[in-house]
Structure 1
Amino acid sequence: MKKNIAIIMGGFSSEYKISLISGNVVYETLNASKYSAYRIHIFRDKWVYVDDNENEFPIDKNDFSVTVNGKKITFDCVFNAIHGSPGEDGFIQGYFKLINMPHTSCNMYQASVTFNKRDCLSILKPYGIKIAESFYLNSGDVIDDDAIVNKVGLPCFVKANKAGSSFGVTKVYKKEELQNAIAIAFKEDDEIIIEAFLDGTEVSVGVIRYKGEVKVLPITEIVSENDFFDYEAKYQGKSQEITPARLTKEQETKVTETAKKVYEVLKIKGFSRSEYIFKNGEPHLLEVNTIPGLTKESILPQQAKAAGISLAELFDNAIEEALR
């Protein structure tokens, strides 16, 4: 008997458009002989099932069911394709925990921690994971430009602490540019992390639990045409993504071991994609994503393909692991 799979997409953040693309790729790719897939749009003002004719049916939040033409539909598993809040920051995971619904993403605590760049890096640092020098700001703090530059140097990156897809990120070359960059970041979040610039090869490493085992996928090297791996570079073709990455055997071993360690220390389930820059031959962690892009062009699916795992197999395995 086919299992009913709810594919959740959308969300509350600037990433909702990308999430809708990811969710529709999952919908189009899932094995139709094995699963009955349902597109569920989750926004602040509505949670709805959207059928192939774009008709909308409200979700009953008491048990995450939907009634269509008088028939109640319940789900065996949720495929989480929401980038940003509430799908990547722990909120939806907490809800599904309360109603005992299996889902393809990590647990609530892991989602919350990895979505908060400052907390995630602070937890991993004692385990020997190397990170850039950083400076923290919260909304309402007095901003001392000199103190920031003295701590992290120039150029530096000003980032919204809890945001994805490079929203709220600015590369700053001069002290005079800091205030504007901070204002941009505060539009996305009330917390900021300012990091020292690391000049080196940037790579992205996908880690999944595949057939019951933690598996590190082939590494992708990021070569941005822009000043850094920003929104345009990620989604509008302004970068080269080279898989497998052009690394020495030593670099490959180091970053593979680091990414696996990050996945296991944080006790992540489902997908993860972590970003690193090599400095003095050592991989320095930038961030961890637990709901990475899932379009055919996205990095994690590229890596899975290089490992001999098709998109359909990748998604099927995620559901099987969730139901396990």
Structure 2
Amino acid sequence: MKLNIAIIMGGYSSEHQISLLSGQNVYKHLSKERYNLFRVIISTKKWACLDDADREYPIDRSDFSVQIEDEKISFHCVFNAIHGSPGEDGLMQAYFELLNLPQTSCGYYQAALTFNKRDLLSVLKPYGVKMAKSYYLNQGEEIEKDEILRKVGLPCFVKANRAGSSFGITKVHKAEELAKGIEHAFKEDTEIIIESFLKGTEVSVGVITYKGKTTVLPITEIVSENDFFDYEAKYQGKSQEITPARISEKEKKAVTQIATMVYKTLGMKGYTRSEFILIDGVPHMLEMNTTPGLTEKSILPQQALAAGISLAELFESAVKEALEEN
């Protein structure tokens, strides 16, 4: 019997369109011989399942089923391709756990923790993970410009605390630019994190569970043509993503050990992609993504291909893991 797999995509955040591309790519490569595949669009306005002709059928949220013509379809597994809320912050994970429905990403606690940059870094700091100096600010709080700059210095990064794809990020070079950067970040989130600039080599490390084993994929070096790895650099060709990274064996070993330790310590499963800055060979962690981009041009799929793992194999492995865990 072929299993019914729902590929959820879209979401509530600024990453909605990027998520649609990821979900479509999963739909393209996941085996249609082994599975009945259904694309499910999640948005603030509707949850809808698309048929092959792109006709929409509403999802019954009481049990995450769909009625297509005369047939009620229930799903055996959900492939999570949502970037941002509600697919990367734990909301969908908790919902599916209540329904006892297997899904491919990490658990709800791990998703909520890693989506919150401030909380993630605070949890990892006692484990010896190096990171930038930081200052936390919530919307409505007084902005102590002198205190902020005394702690993090210039240049610095102002970031939305719970956002991805470089939405809500500004690199601040001058003190008079700080207020504008804070205003920009608050458009994405009510919480922000302001971090010191780390000068070094930026690398992206994919850690996944593949065929039952924690696997570190070939590391990617990020070389942005812009001032930093912003949205334009990520999605509009203004960067080089070099896999494998041009780093020494010592640096590769160090960042691999840290990324693996973090994955296991946090009890992760599924796909993760973490960003680090290497300074004098020492990895400094920036963040972790638990539903990273899955288009053919995205970093994690590039890393999988460099490891000899096809996209069909990569995506099927996530489904099998989810089904075996349930």
TM-score normalized with structure 1 length: 0.99
1:136-182 C-alpha deviation (Å, 9 max, x unpaired): 00011100111011000000000000000000000000000000000
Residue type of the partner of 1:191? E
1:154-169 paired onto structure 2 within 5 Å: 154-169=154-169
C-alpha displacement of 1:70:
1.4
Q: 1:50: how far off? A: 1.1
Counterpart-to-counterpart distance in 1, 2:223 and 2:63:
45
Q: Which amino acid aligns with 2:260?
A: K
How many residues of Structure 1 are paired with residues of Structure 2 in the alignment? 324
Question: Which residue in the other structure is 2:193 paired with?
Answer: 193
Q: Which residue does 2:182 correspond to in 1?
A: 182
Q: Which residue is 1:212 aligned to?
A: 212
Structure 2 partner of 1:296? 296
1:143-158 map, 5 Å: 143-158=143-158
Partners of 1:184 and 1:92 in 2: CA distance: 27
Uncovered stretches (5+) of structure 1, i.e. residues with no partner: none
- CA–CA distance in structure 1, aligned partners of residues 267 and 321 of structure 2: 14
Query: Aligned equivalents of 1:262 and 1:247: distance in 2?
Result: 21
Task: Give unpaired runs (5+ residues) of structure 2.
Answer: none
Higher mean displacement: 51-60 or 225-234: 51-60
Question: In the aligned structure 2, how far is the partner of 1:24 from the partner of 1:193?
Answer: 32
> What letter corresponds to residue 94 of structure 2 in structure 1?
G
Specify the code of the residue in structure 2 equivalent to 1:11.
G
Aligned to 2:254: 254
Cα deviation, residue 51, structure 1: 1.4
Partner SS for 1:48: strand
**Partner-residue secondary structure (3-state), 2:27:** helix
Whether 2:118 is the aligned partner of 1:118: answer: yes
Which residue does 2:100 correspond to in 1?
Answer: 100
1:316 aligns with 2:316: yes
**Which residue of structure 2 lines up, in the alignment, with residue 279 of structure 1?**
279
Moved over 2 A (4+): none
Hey, what's the Cα distance between the residues in 1 that align with 2:254 and 2:141? 38
Residue 241 (structure 2) aligns with: 241
Secondary structure of the structure 1 residue equivalent to 2:228: coil
User: In structure 2, what is the Cα distance between the partners aligned to 1:306 and 1:317?
Assistant: 17
Per the alignment, in what secondary structure is the counterpart of residue 13 of structure 1? coil
Distance 2:85 2:62 in 1: 20
Deviations 1:24-66 (A, max 9, x none): 0001111111011000001111101011222110001111000
How far apart are the structure 2 equivalents of 1:117 and 1:157? 13
Q: Distance in 2 between matches of 1:263 and 1:228?
A: 26
For residues 102-141 of structure 1, what are the alpha-carbon distances to aligned partners after superposition, in whole Å with 9 as ceiling and x for unaligned?
0000000000000000000000010111110000000111
CA distance in 1, matches of 2:74, 2:98: 16
The alignment status of 1:133 with 2:127, answered yes or no, reads: no
- The one-letter code matched in structure 2 to 1:307 is A
| Partner Cα separation in structure 2 for residue 133 and residue 279 of structure 1 | 14
Query: Which residue of the partner structure matches residue 231 of structure 1?
Result: 231
**Aligned partners of 1:200 and 1:241: how far apart in 2?**
16
The 3-state SS of whatever aligns with 1:59 is strand
Residue aligned with 1:131, SS: coil
3-state SS of 1:240 partner: strand
Question: Match of 1:130, SS?
Answer: coil
Structure 1 position 307 matched with structure 2 position 307 = yes
Percent of paired sites with the same residue:
65
- The answer for the alignment partner of 2:84 in structure 1 is 84
1:230-262 deviations in Å (ceiling 9; x for gaps): 001111111000000000110000000010011
SS of structure 2 residue aligned to 1:260: helix
